[in-house]
Structure formats: C-alpha cells, structure tokens
Amino acid sequence: LAARVAEGRFREDLLARIELWTFRLPGLRERPEDVEPNLEYELEQCARRLGVRVTFNREARERFVAFYFDTPTRELARNGLGLRLRRQGSHWRATLKAAGSGGHGLHHRPEWEYPVPGPVLDLSRFLDTPLAALPGAATLHARLVPVLVAEFRRTRWRLDRAPGSSLEVGSCSPCPVRK
C-alpha cells in the first residue's frame, strides 16, 4: 500500500490508520498446535459442501518409526520382497511385502503383518510366505541388516459415503530419512 500511496492511488491518511499496528502470523508449519483445529474446520466445510461425512480420528495421527531390512547383497529386493519393523505409538509390527502392481499412489500387493513384542524380527511368523521359499531361508535371519530407518507422522481420515461404505485416506508429513 505504501507504493500505491507514492503513486497517488491510495490515501495516505487511510494507510496511517491501518498501520497502527502490525503483526506476523506464522504459517501452520510453525504453529503445529493449530493444525488440528484448522483441519476440523475444513472437514466440517467439506461435509457441508459435498454432503459427505468426513471424520478425523484423533488416534489416526500417529508417529511412526520404520526399520527396513535386507541382506548386504539385497536378496530380498532382488526377489521382490520388503521386510520392515514398524513402531506405531507403543506397538510394534513386522511386515513382509511382496511385489505387486500399482500406480498413482495405489498399490495391490500381497502383505503379511504380525504384531511383535518389540523391535525384534521373528522370521518364523513368515513360514507360509515367499520369504520361506528363498534360497538359504534357514540362515536368512543371520544375514539381515537394517538398510533404512524412516521416521514420520501419518494422518488418516475416513470418508463415509453411505452406510457400510468407507474409504481411508492418508497423508504423511515430511519424512526425515536416515540411512
């Protein structure tokens, strides 16, 4: 507006009145405590505009730590497999993923997942999976090493279009990754 006053396109007295105080409103990235109230407001607006009930489960926003494993020679990756341990809140899960198909962020692939008591891999849970069919599967546990650690926050929403029909949508915050 100061430039417009200099150009004669805005009144100087009005600028003086509105410049009595200034403040900086930081973006939401700097105000994480404001994310959920803003999200709730936007979900309500979406429900009004679209006529679709959208819910946000407070437990759906969780911090995750995931450890991915393979052998030094990448035996799992070469066979289209991925093995991870993930902490979700205070719970741990071991997951084996096999190759499948996908595109545009959607995946269709076989997965086997089991709760585990802590950050310990127990390959005996995967005896009926492609992992057990790998050459040298009996000694695989001794050869596994962590290849990636990812820490992130995930938020999930449920979209309920009709009774008995729902869709889960998720997003991840920027994920700092450690190798």
pTM attached to this predicted model: 0.55
Distance between CA 74 and CA 144 in Å, rounded?
9
Distance between CA 18 and CA 15 in Å, rounded?
5
Distance between CA 80 and CA 135 in Å, rounded?
14
Give the model's pLDDT for residue 97. 92
SS3 7: helix
List, in sequence order, every residue forming a beta bridge with 56; answer none if it has no partner.
157
Give the model's pLDDT for residue 87. 83
Higher pLDDT, 97 or 173: 97
Q: What is the pLDDT of residues 141-170, one digit of tens each?
A: 889 988 888 776 666 666 666 676 666 666
Q: What is the pLDDT of residues 109-131, one digit of tens each?
A: 888 999 998 888 889 989 999 99
Give the model's pLDDT for residue 79. 93
Q: What is the pLDDT of residues 61-93, one digit of tens each?
A: 556 778 899 999 999 999 999 999 988 777 889
Q: What is the pLDDT of residues 22-75, one digit of tens each?
A: 777 787 767 766 766 776 777 777 678 777 666 655 555 556 778 899 999 999
Q: Do 113 and 94 touch, CB atoms closer than 8 A? A: yes
Distance between CA 76 and CA 83 in Å, rounded?
8
Give the model's pLDDT for residue 39. 67
Give the model's pLDDT for residue 110. 86
* Residue 46 CA to its chain's centroid (Å): 22
Give the model's pLDDT for residue 17. 81
Q: Which residues contact 158 (CB under 8 A, 6 or more apart)?
A: 54, 55, 57, 166, 167, 168, 169
What amino acid occupies position 15?
L
SS3 110: coil
List, in sequence order, every residue forming a beta bridge with 111; answer none if it has no partner.
97
Give the model's pLDDT for residue 177. 45
Cα separations (Å) of 145 from 12, 47, 79, 111, 149?
Answer: 68, 47, 16, 20, 11
Higher pLDDT, 94 or 51: 94
